[in-house]
Structure 1
């Protein structure tokens, strides 16, 4: 089941208050790179159903993406207890996503 990027983004302080592992995915529903990455991202999340996954629509004037210095889509920010431990930009294989996920779930 496809999920959509939300335009209702939380504040940076709300992100920093998250407990446990989480992934913020910045992109848009119309972005070809974002669409191509969805199968890769879903494959990793199948093994980690308890990890919080938030898809944020990014673009000019979007404060959360700017606070994370997002430049390209999709950008996945891997967090543990609200702190960035890793990021993957425009993945073309499952390996970097899996490695980053292992980092936040171990």
Structure 2
């Protein structure tokens, strides 16, 4: 699956996310967040070769239940799921390499 460029509105429910099969990267952030914008090239690079990984770009903020369910506090937060279960997390990833290494561990 290719990288999503737009934040989802509305976000999927926790039940929908937990029922996803395979590897999924939940990206929590906002379009106006500078840290989120800085992370985009690295995220795009990491996901470009991973057609077996689902990417869900979820806008977060006050009153957003999915972000609260995953205890998101800083943006961007990448939550890596395997068959709906959290197996890894990166908060404000410094590079695409960090994302690629985490994906490699999750997919292996």
Question: Per the shorter chain, which TM-score range?
Answer: over 0.9
Deviation of the 1:100 alpha carbon: 1.4
Normalising by structure 1, what TM-score? 0.94
Q: Distance in 1 between matches of 2:9 and 2:77?
A: 16
* Number of residue pairs matched by the alignment: 106
Unaligned runs of 5+ in 2: none
Distance in 1 between residues matched to 2:79 and 2:33, nearest whole Å: 18
In structure 2, distance between residues paired with 1:48 and 1:87: 17
SS in structure 2 of the partner of residue 49 of structure 1: coil
Query: Please, what is the CA RMSD of the aligned residues?
Result: 1.4
Unaligned 5+ segments in structure 1 are none
Runs of 4+ in 1 over 6 A off after TM superposition: none
Superposed, 1:1-106 pairs within 5 Å as 3-106=5-108
**Cα distance, 1:2 vs structure 2:** 7.4
TM-score of the pair, normalised by structure 2: 0.92
Per-residue Cα deviation, 1:17-52 (whole angstroms, up to 9, x for no partner) = 110000000001111100000000011001202210
* C-alpha distance in 1 between matches for 2:4 and 2:66: 23
Superposed CA deviations along residues 33-85 of structure 1, whole A, max 9, x for unmatched, are 00000000011001202210000000000000000000000000000000000
